[in-house]
Amino acid sequence: MQKFIEGLPKVELHLHIEGTLEPELMFAMAERNNIKLRYGSVEEVRQAYNFTDLQSFLNIYYAGANVLQTEQDFYDLAWAYFSKAHAQNVRHAEIFFDPQTHTDRGIPLETVINGLHRAQQDAQNKLDLSSFLILCFLRHLPPEAALRILDEAQPYKDWIIAVGLDSSEKDRPPALFEEVYSQARAQGYLSVAHAGEEGPAEYVWEALKLLGSQRIDHGVRSVDDPELLKYLTDRHIPLTVCPLSNVKLRVFPSMKDHNIKEMLDMGLRVTINSDDPAYFGGYMNENFIAAQRDLGLTRDDLYRISLNSIEATFLDEPHKVALKQELDVYFSTHGDAAR
């Protein structure tokens, strides 16, 4: 099954580019940018990745992002991700970036976005890996700051497909960001939002009803509200679930306790994604393999999850059809592909 998963053509819909910063690259960038890290070695960095909840992770994640200074740094970060994703047969990725993490420490948005965009072009041309960018508002900061970054992003609108909402969820309800989402949608952006990761099912409702979110990032707490489950199922609203992240941040005590299989069996459009792979112990393959092993996902389950991801992308119909064909060819040429 592991080999089968490794070869599976994949789509990634929940990936923070800042969360792909591997300790080796963090050290290389710190050195070339003359930045002092609080860790002495790569091993020390990895040992610090022992999280108790979302906030304990975010503190380290934002500190790590300080090494990103130049356009080349952002290019190298994204190129390293694309290379890794390509090696794992990721065919398309929709990638979050957190501009405020960088602009608030004096890095111009232009620097961030030019580096990311150039890596996207190279991934398309050299790896046949397509991608979209999703601009995330940091929800621990005031909604006014989100409005300012939306304005600042205006010149790069054609390079950004959607807006998203991430960072600390507790006590930061989506309702706070209704105005900025309304403006973003009026400007033509699509929209997604993190909700129901640590926060309650009520935040998923708010993301859907007040922000017009077309996908829910995480959304695992939706199981607490039967009415919400029916709403999500009836409307085929995708949930971008991140199994290793949820275990690392103690949303579930272990992978065996994860509810992705339960949600899949209920008919929800669940997908598997890697969130912050450099911090949570794995990229797409590792997430699929861990969930398959501990939850007993069948080939049929893997087919449905893969199909869900394709349906959930922001690609146009011809590109979705092409990906579905690729998936069908893979299943029909790799053993007894029951589905």
Residues lying near ligand ADE in the complex (CB under 6 A): 16, 19, 54, 61, 166-167, 194, 197, 245, 275-276
Residue nearest Zn ion by beta-carbon distance: 275
Contact between 215 and 190 under an 8 Å Cβ cutoff? The reply is no
Asked if 197 is an active-site residue, the reply is: yes
How near is the Cβ of 199 to Zn ion at its closest, in Å? 13
319 annotated among ligand-binding-site residues: no
**For ligand ADE, which is the closer residue by CB, 16 or 102?**
16
From ligand ADE, Zn ion, none, interface partner of 79 (C-beta below 5 to 8 A by class): none
By CB under 5 A, residue 73 contacts Zn ion? no
How near is the Cβ of 318 to ligand ADE at its closest, in Å? 32
Q: How many chain residues touch Zn ion (CB under 5 A)?
A: 1
140 annotated among ligand-binding-site residues: no
CA atoms of 78 and 68, how far apart (whole Å): 11
From Zn ion, ligand ADE, none, interface partner of 210 (C-beta below 5 to 8 A by class): none
* Sign of torsion over alpha carbons 112, 278, 24, 140: positive
* Sign of torsion over alpha carbons 193, 198, 201, 202: negative
276 annotated among ligand-binding-site residues: yes
From ligand ADE, Zn ion, none, interface partner of 111 (C-beta below 5 to 8 A by class): none
Which DSSP letter does residue 254 get?
S
Contact between 137 and 164 under an 8 Å Cβ cutoff? The reply is yes
In sequence order, what DSSP letters do the residues of 170-215 get, joined into one string? TT--GGGGHHHHHHHHHTT-EEEEEESSSS-HHHHHHHHHTT--SE
And the tokens for 189? 């952006």
Hey, which residues between 105 and 134 contact Zn ion (CB under 5 A)?
none
334 annotated among ligand-binding-site residues: no
* Sign of torsion over alpha carbons 255, 259, 260, 265: positive
Q: Where are the beta strands (DSSP E) in 98-139?
A: 130-138
How near is the Cβ of 99 to ligand ADE at its closest, in Å? 13
By CB under 5 A, residue 275 contacts Zn ion? yes
**For ligand ADE, which is the closer residue by CB, 11 or 136?**
136
From Zn ion, ligand ADE, none, interface partner of 71 (C-beta below 5 to 8 A by class): none
CA atoms of 263 and 282, how far apart (whole Å): 22
For residue 3, count CB atoms less than 10 angstroms from its CB and return exposed for 0-12, middle for 13-18, buried for 19 or more.
Answer: exposed
275 annotated among ligand-binding-site residues: yes
Catalytic choice (71, 169, 197, 198): 197
Active site residues: 197
**Binding site, annotated residues for Zn(2+):** 14, 16, 194, 275
Contacting residues toward Zn ion, per CB under 5 A: 275
